[in-house]
Structure 1
Amino acid sequence: MNPETAIKYPGVTSIIAMLPKPFLVWWAARMTAETAVANLTAVASIAERDEQGAVDYLRNAHARYTKLRAKIGSDAHDLFERMIRGEIIGRVHPDLEPYRAAFAEFLEVMRPELVRAEDIAWSDSHQYAGSFDAIIRVRLGEDGKPDHENGTWVTLIVDWKTSKSTYPDVALQMSAYAHADKVISSDGTSEPMPAVDGAAVLHITPDGWAFKPVAIDPEVFDVFLTLRKVFDWDRDLSKRVLGRAIVESARRLITGTQRRA
């Protein structure tokens, strides 16, 4: 919601959720199967006492995993914001230490200058909003690699990812942020969205990290705008396209014999 006007627009994430993801069905099924195989004795024990409880335990396996990953991702994002703002970080939970170490290495290698962090990208033109992770400036050479002596300063809108992999739809997300009309700060003030030279995603896992460029050109943004229309269809227009029947079949006669039966 825009704190200045109280206007609400759908979020970028909700709009991108309109993109078909059939692989999620197979992923959830596999997660259920793996949980069953890894916990055969426990599942059998639960089923003896509560069959429905065993079913619920298995069918919710993917939801439990997603919730755990979301918690780690949220904690890691909080850590990254503190670090890129220059806060000295002491000891962290062992689960977060690989992410802290990886982000510290990224800061050392890329030496980014922070422009903005965790602000809201807002579009009145296309009616959407979303919180982006950061806008940074880095010096890159002609080969696109860090060059802190002779490189050219470029401004990038960036996203931190802690998921198992990076997926193409991050380009839709980043293009939406980059093409927004304005940026709204945490104090409610707003200004035009800063011009950016490109976008990148920092993918961090416990095994390592990679900083990858992301395409945010008009062709990509057009796909996002198509999903914006699909969002309106799903939430509004689809509920208004079918009217009441002009005519319909007569109700089937219920006989006295049937009523007495």
Structure 2
Amino acid sequence: MSFKIVEPQEFTCETNHYLIDGVKFPRVTRIKSIISNPGLVNWRLTVGRKKANEIMKVRGEFGSRAHKLIQLTLAGRDVNININDNEMRKTIELFYDFLDEHDIRVKLLEQRLWFKLTEKYKYAGTADFIGYVDGKLMLLDWKTSKAIYPDMWLQLAAYVVAFENLTNEKIDSCGILQIRDGKKNTPIVVHWNVLV
């Protein structure tokens, strides 16, 4: 199966939105950030705002680097895993284990998606992976967070709706591969209709 998403001429990422042909589309990650996460709120209160911001910045940068290395790996580029950062090296090694354990066929990486129901109800975001995993068409997200939180599934559901609307193809399921602290959790996979 082959599908292609033709992106609009103007599609730029801003802090809180994407600008698509002159129209602001809220970012899915920004929309979901307004949902209260009691665990995160309590943690911030426990460690203090300044320390929490420092930790979140470091973890965010780590996650961005891991995403980039995973993307390069899936695109067929050589990634040197003799990285000085021990945690990053373990993360990439665990991702290689995931690749060895499954039949992976990449269709789209870091794919920008958008959906517009009305002028008021619209959004855009970027899916980490769309392709076949063990013969099933899946949308996957890579996470280096400490846990998998419920709002992460809202993000994936939004991406699936946008993808299916843009391509008329049906996603079989979506999942999260969490790699953190030298451990790879078994990918949590759900049939995406469970999410909506």
* Alignment RMSD: 2.1
- Percent identity of paired positions between Structure 1 and Structure 2: 27
User: Which residue in the other structure is 1:99 paired with?
Assistant: 91
Contact conserved, 2:139 with 2:160, CA < 8 A, in 1?
yes
Q: Following TM superposition, by how much is the alpha carbon of 1:5 offset from its aligned partner in structure 2, in angstroms?
A: 2.2
- Corresponding residue of 1:16: 32
Whole-angstrom distance in 1 between the partners of 2:144 and 2:60: 9
Which structure: greater strand fraction? Answer: 2
Alpha-carbon separation, structure 1, partners of 2:189 and 2:78: 28
Contact 2:164/2:171, CA 8 A, preserved across alignment = no
Cα deviations across residues 134-191 of structure 1 (Å, max 9, x unaligned)?
112022xxxxxxxxxxxxx2100000000011112111111000001678xxxxxxx5
Q: TM-score, normalised by structure 2?
A: 0.81
The 1:196/1:87 distance shift into structure 2, 3 A limit, reads same
Could you list the runs of 4 or more consecutive aligned residues of structure 1 that deviate by over 6 angstroms after TM superposition? none
1:62 aligns with 2:52: yes
Is the Cα contact below 8 Å between 1:114 and 1:137 reproduced in 2?
Answer: yes
Shift in Å at residue 207 of structure 1?
A: 2.5
Partner of 1:197: 172
Determine the C-alpha separation between the residues in 1 that align with 2:125 and 2:92. 25
Q: Distance between the aligned counterparts of 1:155 and 1:61, measured in 2?
A: 41
1:133 aligns with 2:128: yes
2:184 aligned residue: 209
Q: Which residue of 1 aligns with 2:23?
A: 7
- Offset, 1:193: 6.0
Question: Which among 62, 70, 91 is matched to residue 72 of structure 1?
Answer: 62
Q: Secondary structure at the match of 2:23?
A: coil
CA distance in 2, matches of 1:65, 1:117: 28
Show the counterpart of 1:220.
195
Residue number in structure 1 paired with 2:143? 161
How has the CA–CA distance of structure 1 residues 154 and 179 changed in structure 2, closer, same or farther, with 3 Å as cutoff? same
- Residues 215, 171 of structure 1: alpha-carbon distance in 2 compared, 3 angstrom cutoff: farther
How far, CA to CA, are the matches of 1:178 and 1:66 in structure 2? Answer: 27
How far, CA to CA, are the matches of 1:181 and 1:28 in structure 2? Answer: 35
Long gaps (5+) in structure 1: 33-58, 140-152, 184-190, 222-261
Q: CA deviation at 1:26?
A: 1.5
Q: 1:93, 1:80 → 2: CA distance?
A: 17
- Judged with a 3 Å threshold, the aligned counterparts in structure 2 of structure 1 residues 13 and 75 are, in CA distance, closer, same or farther, namely same
Under a length normalisation based on structure 1, what TM-score does the superposition of the two structures give? 0.62
- Residue from 106, 116, 129 that aligns with 2:108: 116
